[in-house]
Amino acid sequence: PSRFTEEAKKEQHPFAYLPFGAGPRGCIGMKMGLLETKITLLRILQKFQFKTCPETEIPLQLKSKATLGPKNGVYIILESR
Residue type, 1: P
Helix (H, G, I), strand (E, B) or coil at 67: coil
What is the C-alpha separation between 61 and 72, in angstroms, rounded?
A: 8
What share of the chain has pLDDT > 70, as a percent?
Answer: 98
Q: Is 53 annotated as a binding residue?
A: no
pLDDT of residue 37: 97
DSSP-derived letter for residue 55 is T
59-76 pLDDT, tens digit each = 989 998 888 899 988 999
Nearest partner of 31 among 23, 41, 20, 16, judged by Cα:
20
E strands, the chain, are: 48-52, 62-64, 68-70, 76-80
* pTM beyond 0.75, yes or no: no
> In the predicted model, is pLDDT for residue 34 greater than 90?
yes
